[in-house]
Structure 1
Amino acid sequence: MRKLFASVLAMGLAVLAGSAAAQQQAPAERTFEARYVVIGRGVEAGDFNYSFTQSGSTYRASANREMKGWVGAALNRSQDYTYSVVGTVSADGSLHPTTYQHQGGRRREDRPNGRLIRAQFSPGDVVTTAQPGRPNMGDPPATPEQRRNTIDQITAIAAMVTAQGDVCNRTLRVYMDGRARFDFVMQPNGNVNINSRVYRGPGFRCRVQFRPIAGFGDPQEASTLTFLFAPTPSGMYAPITIEMPTDGVGVVRLEARRLSFNGQRL
């Protein structure tokens, strides 16, 4: 699941905003900026940076992942990626991607910036293209029904950050990189006191079932992950730590190092 912890991530989210009435209407303008470190097998292996901006009924999000030190050298930059997505915002605040792309995997000398993958989202389907060549759709590839009403992994992060209501009570239908199809089934798992580098105070723990569906190309097993979120004055949820399964190194942990909401640091 080569880029899953990027999807994730990762994955950051929206806060308990004041009253229930206020949560029924999404704000017209909001931003979220984040920097995470990627920790695998006890080693700080890389950085993950994320940016989200909503303006009226549209949004943009971007991210980049760079592996550091001996990890990056050992992987020969093959796990460094950039991501971007644009989409629309419904009246209820839900996010709907239209155009997603990522580029990376710099192992081959003839691709200094890596291969470019694009995915065009519509309510009924997702169409994936690649430059150069054809996209690898996995085995088995996701069916049209499985692709319907899905979001990319970068939008999934924003969907959690800007969630209306309980961030830990939802299912995200993710079509990662226009290939790997899975669900994140999120359930509340208690209130906690968070003590991290970016935040100290009350927070929420989510029990997250990762359910692989199609397109991975190698056997995947369902697993249980843990996400921690904190409320913020912006009305968005702050993703403090996220656990994600990956190829080769098992579950990695994303730890926030800097979080900003509407221009204000957490």
Structure 2
Amino acid sequence: MAVTVAGPTKKWADGPFPLIKTPFVDGDRKDDYVLAATQMSLVHNVIIRGLNAIYLQAPHVLPADTADFIGYARAWSDFLHIHHAGEEAAFFPTIEQLTGVPGIMDGNIQQHEAFSAGLKAYDEYMGTATPESFSGARLVEIIDSFGQVLGQHLDDEIPTILALAQHRDKMDISKVLEDEAKHSMSKLGFKTTVPYLITALDVTFEEGLHRDFPPAPGLIKAVARALAPRFNKGYWRFAPCAKDGSPKDMLAAPEK
């Protein structure tokens, strides 16, 4: 049954950087590579929604809310770094080892490097930003320097995973992705990047097809949704979703 909600009344985090359509919609929903690529799509959309939320709201944050916005923007970067570090430490090397194809994932690593300078500028700016020094216009300018390249990389990685199906006799892609997910999840902070993840997962996306993502015991997810967003709760006012995963108006979002 599709999940339906009234939805946000202001501009929302599905742009300006476009979300990724999952292979699950049109592909073989029983194929392990379609499922793996779909799970990666959903994680990537968590990153894209957060970036869109920051980009849209940065010029409109009120002085009294700036400290919390800075916290949200830092949580986004922390989540992105954990994800890409997990790929480079666990996911890519394992695929190369199992397929026996040297450099098979080098293109993805090169794409990481392509937006690294812009992301470094983002981290340096937000790492030293204070409510008094913060400029929304400057943050938007920095995101403009790498946002499109980052978005393209996140999109390009999905067909790369699908193409690995030609090596299905050599590896269990579900196990490989599960191991990478465990590696990344172990690095998340319960007070920062866990609530960031929770409040950037849209349970209504693609008519609610992925409302049970991520694949974890229901009790664990329920406890995380109930408790994690209580920490630094001012940050998540800028998030695109409520703690139950339903899309909501972001605090400083402009009108449609």
What is the TM-score normalised by the length of structure 2? Answer: 0.27
Decide which structure has greater strand share. 1
More relative contact order in 1 or in 2 (CA 8 Å, sep 6+)? 2
Decide which structure has greater helix share. 2
